[in-house]
Amino acid sequence: MRKNNHTVVKEFILHGLFGNDEVETGLFTLFLIIYILTLVGNIATITLVWSDPRLHKPMYIFLCNLSFIEIWYTTSTVPNMLFGMLSKNKVISFTGCFLQFYFFFSLGTTECFILAIMGYDRYLAICHPLRYNVLMNSRICSNLAVTCWISAFLWTAVPVILIEQLPFCGPNEINHFLCDPGPLLELSCLKSYGIEMMYSVCNSLILLSTFAFSFISYGFIIKTILRIPSSSGRRKAFSTCASHLMVVIIFFGCAMSMNMRPSGNHPADLDKVVIVFYTLVTPLLNPIIYTLRNKEIWNAMKKIMLSH
């Protein structure tokens, strides 16, 4: 990303989570523990899947992609936030700020795509079980995963580059703990409503389309489950997708509450708390939710523990 010739600002000052050093120092240990547990949980999920041949199925391949996303999604912001909690120098370079912005939103967009594809995978498994191995084989699974990654990173590049090219003449203080597009657009010397509208449309389009795709998939899934005659069959079918549905609701609920609100002034502290939830807490919850409700994951874990 090349800086515009009119750019004067060379770095930004992040106010942090609450702008209170004593409060942030007290929260440092808690957030560090959550971050470490997030890394351990998601790395363990990937390790379990790849170490057990019985888990080499599309559902778990997509789960590995989701865990890999969560590792880097939280890493794109949390280490810098933790460093800022202990340091009085909360400065981030111009390039570093926009790189954080790019990776944070690219990974978030990738997660939207992966969650939608995971819903489609469950739709095929439950609604078309006899054709599942043909409709979702390993080649199709790999192609879908790669397409999600490439599409997300290409999609996000356009609005990020356009915002980066705006002139920033000062002030350079961001009332946030990360480089969020809202505060960045406010700091620009040139108010470009076209770029703001384009960014808003890009965000809304991704969120609405992927959520609608997931919603439609689960509409067909629930309809099929209700037609199963035995209660044990219904429970078994629903248990295979309940974890994913829970993750979808949490992730899209937080993302939409932040990115699809009416324009206007919003409490900055509330925005920060919501972003902390889906950048720090949600990545921790995902491996817990999938592990606690999945017998195959539990069996793979027991197998590794017994072998040692």
Q: CATH number for the domain including 154?
A: 1.20.1070.10
Quick one: which H or E segment has residue 173? strand 173-174
Q: Is 3 within a domain?
A: no
Which residue ranges of the chain lie beneath pLDDT 70?
1-7, 19-21, 260-268, 292-293, 308
Of 181, 178, 217, 180, nearest in space to 196 by CA: 181
At 262 the pLDDT is: 54
Structure tokens at 164: 């980066």
In angstroms, rounded to a whole number, what is the distance separating the alpha carbons of residues 201 and 206?
A: 9
In a domain? residue 243: yes
Domain that holds residue 219: 11-307
Tokens of 30: 């808690």
- Inside any domain, residue 291: yes
Torsion angles phi and psi, residue 189, rounded to 5? -70, -25
Flag whether 6 is in a domain: no
DSSP state of 130: G
Query: Which neighbouring-strand residues pair with 174?
Result: 14
Q: Which of 267, 76, 58, 62 is CA-nearest to residue 148?
A: 62
SS3 (DSSP) at 12 = strand
CA angle (172 as vertex; 171, 173 as ends), nearest 5? 105
pLDDT digits (tens, 9 = 90+) for 164-210: 988 888 788 888 888 988 888 888 888 778 888 888 888 889 999 99
Residues 6+ apart with CB under 8 A from 283: 38, 42, 70, 71, 73, 74
Residue 2 lies in a domain: no
Tell whether 280 is covered by a domain: yes
Number of domains in the chain: 1
Amino acid at 253: G
Cβ-contact 65, 45 below 8 angstroms:
no
In a domain, residue 5? The reply is: no
